[in-house]
Amino acid sequence: MTARVDELRDLLHRYNYEYYVLDAPTVSDAEYDELMRQLRQLESDHPELVTPDSPTQRVGAEPSTAFGTVRHEIPMLSLSNVYNYDEIAEWVARVHRLAGHEDIEFVTEPKIDGSAVSILYRDGVLERGATRGDGVTGEDVTTNIKTIRNIPLRISPLKKGAVIPGVLEVRGEIYMRRSEFDDLNRRRGEAGETLFANPRNAAAGSLRQLDPKLTAARPLRMYAYGVGQADGDLPAMHADQVALLRDLGFPVTDNAQVCITVDELWEQCESWLNARNDLDYEIDGVVIKVNDTNLQNELGSVSREPRWATAYKFPAIQKTTVIEGIEINVGRTGSLNPVAILAPVEIGGVTVRRATLHNEDEIERLGVRIGDTVVVERAGDVIPKIISVIEENRDGSEQPFSMPDTCPVCGAQAVRLEGEVARECVNVSCPARVREQVRHFVSRGAMDIEGFGSKLAVLFVDLGLIQDFADIYDLDWNRIAEIEGFGDKRIENLKQSIAQSNQQPLSRLINALGIRHIGERNARSLAHHFRTMDRLLEATREELEGIPGIGSVVAEAVYDFLQEPRNRELIARLEKMGLRMDEDSVDTGPTDGKLSGKTVVLTGRMESLTRSEAQELLERAGAQVTSSVSRKTDFVAVGADPGSKAERARELDVSILTEDDLIAMLRDDGVLNPE
Ligand code: D41
């Protein structure tokens, strides 16, 4: 009996580790649940066998009324900040000076934007979990910490010979993955609950729930970055301590890097900065630490900040500013989109003057009024957005805003349809709508008509030269020649690029039509499936829904669009104008390429492709990109600083592709141009 209980616990610990730490499950959820059910049954039949580190004990504790306090035996220090190359150089020079020599190894690791914790193990069993608090005293959040699935309840060394110290305090950061945060917020929105502003707030708030069941329902994870108290000898180098934590089953960064020179450190900082938007977790900088813990001790700390570590902080992507007004833009589908007009503010080297407010629900959620001071974020290439209102800054002069019920452009009624978030102008020929449609039609991702930019699209619509897309191919050139700035040469060039766009493949044409929910990717899926416009026009709802990646909402939107007589007429006119109505034949990758039908995992950083580009190209080649390595994985494509996924691939004998291999295959499959 005890033997079976032990066996079940070992299996569950292992599967849990594979799932939550390695991201590489080897059993199905159903199998896992079944083993858990068996263990619960045995434990309820024999309560004397229950131990605090049993996998059944992650949740179970009753809600408490307050957290106890915990004193950190070794204070949890905070980090000084540096913001650029020169400050890193200065910091390094100080370490060199204090050490008396320059032969010093530094380690860089990502600075995860979460909430710091200390987790204490005694004889390998999780005894106490605490928040950092002020660094000296924190809160006892043990029952909450135990619900976090990638934190071991019991340490079981994964490497032979790894010795578990009698007392081991692991320090780390509790965070949420972006994808899981988005899911959580979506669910909260659907349930009418308030949304979290960002993953960090969500993680910190979830960690401090008095009812551990609430914490258990949140997708929290830990990332271990160091050791506090420990019995016995630990490796002398920080990098080796991190490796030890990994061998003991803790989630650690895969990408710690040893550096000597300032240039090497800077290269790492820049590389993380570039990778930042492609990661599924938020990082706000890079932590730089002296590798040798003996030297760390020698250097010591001043005012609770170690002299042996610092944080390179990324340029701020959030700033505060004032909302001077709210404007309504009318989109391609006639949706009324509120846009905040901001007092100009510089964020990450770009002056931001406008930020999207999405729709009226968002305005209500944020509670924004005109005149409010707000936090604005500009991350990567995405449109700046408003994160929150600073209510303390209100002086009573702020004006509430409500969405108009008529279209600000054509005056037609603007209604909000059942189940939609946006108010829409009911006038299908609303000039604002046509303008946006034409702008989209000629844009780079759609028909890509060179020299025909947004400005021209707007001008031609406003002059009445274009009423629908087909007019683009039937322009009154005599009238255009009379417009200022349209000389012979410009007209000739424009004629030529319009004529060239005739030959764009079906996927681009589908995208260009501006069907709701259809962007480049979905357009490609449709084009690959149907190959010709004629076949697409005959598609049934069921057939559309059967296409991989096309859900019922998208299928419905496409079907409705294609059933609308005006749209069918428009497509017929485009065909008469000589537009191509089928897909590229070189694009047959998805059925007969080397990558078609394969499952590929990406890990590490690629030199020549971003992660999203690599994913996009792979999907175009018909491959499926997944996040975890299992026996079903066909290839693991490994970039610089690969982590556990590459190791896992080796263990499972999955074929490994270098970046060059991957590029060669993408070229062979015709989704990447030969260079
Ligand atoms: O990823 C992090 N957020 C992180 C935080 C990290 N990778 N390393 C850290 N190292 C330290 C020292 C050097 C003081 C042990 C930290 C933090 N501290 C830290 N987290 C919150 C306050 C300080």
**pLDDT tens-digit map of 248-307:** 999 999 889 999 999 999 999 999 998 888 888 999 999 999 999 999 999 999 989 999
Please compute Rg for the chain using Cα positions.
Answer: 29
111 noted as active-site residue: yes
Q: Dihedral sign for Cα 134, 140, 144, 150, please.
A: positive
- What pLDDT does 651 receive? 83
B/e letters for 444-455, b = 16+ CB within 10 Å, e = fewer, are eebbebeebeee
Protein residue with least CA distance to atom 23, ligand 1: 78
pLDDT for 589 beyond 80: no
pLDDT confidence bin for 381, thresholds 50/70/90:
low
pLDDT for 76 beyond 60: yes
pLDDT for 549 beyond 70: no
Ligand 1 atom, smallest distance to 253 CA: 7
Ligand 1 in contact with 531 (CB < 6 A)? Answer: no
For 318-404, the fitting CATH number among 3.30.9.10, 2.40.50.140, 3.30.420.40, 3.40.50.2300 is: 2.40.50.140
Are residues 584 and 503 in contact, defined by beta-carbon separation less than 8 angstroms? no
Ligand 1 in contact with 244 (CB < 6 A)? Answer: no
Protein residue with least CA distance to atom 10, ligand 1: 225
Ligand 1 in contact with 67 (CB < 6 A)? Answer: no
> 279: closest CA among 643, 29, 20, 650?
643
Q: Was domain 599-668 assigned CATH 3.40.50.2000?
A: no
Ligand 1 in contact with 141 (CB < 6 A)? Answer: no
The residues spanned by each domain of the chain are 2-57, 80-313, 318-404, 431-501, 506-576, 599-668
Q: Was domain 80-313 assigned CATH 3.30.470.30?
A: yes
312 Cα: distance to centroid of ligand 1 (angstroms): 12
- What pLDDT does 586 receive? 47
Homologous superfamily, domain 431-501: 5' to 3' exonuclease, C-terminal subdomain (1.10.150.20)
Ligand 1 in contact with 639 (CB < 6 A)? Answer: no
Which of 31-45, 96-110, 449-463, 624-638 is least confident? 624-638
Which candidate in 111, 146, 289, 598 is catalytic? 111
Quote the pTM value.
0.62
pLDDT for 315 beyond 90: no
Homologous superfamily, domain 506-576: 5' to 3' exonuclease, C-terminal subdomain (1.10.150.20)
Amino acid at 139: E
Residue position matching structure tokens 């030269």: 465
Ligand 1 in contact with 307 (CB < 6 A)? Answer: no
Can 2-57 and 318-404 be said to share one CATH topology?
A: no
pLDDT for 363 beyond 50: yes
Protein residue with least CA distance to atom 14, ligand 1: 77
Protein residue with least CA distance to atom 4, ligand 1: 111
What are 595-619's pLDDT values in tens digits?
A: 988 889 888 888 888 777 788 788 8
> Across the chain, how many H-helices and E-strands are there?
25, 26
Class of domain 2-57: mainly alpha
Mutate to test the pocket of ligand 1, among 225, 279, 293, 303 (most ligand atoms within 8 A of CB): 225
232 Cα: distance to centroid of ligand 1 (angstroms): 23
Spell out the alpha helix ranges (H) of 60-210. 85-99, 142-145, 178-190, 199-207
Protein residue with least CA distance to atom 22, ligand 1: 78
> 104: closest CA among 367, 291, 319, 281?
291
- What pLDDT does 607 receive? 83
**Phi, psi for residue 184 in degrees, rounded to 5:** -60, -50
Whole-number Cα distances in Å, 465 to 435, 469, 478, 493, 516: 11, 11, 11, 18, 25
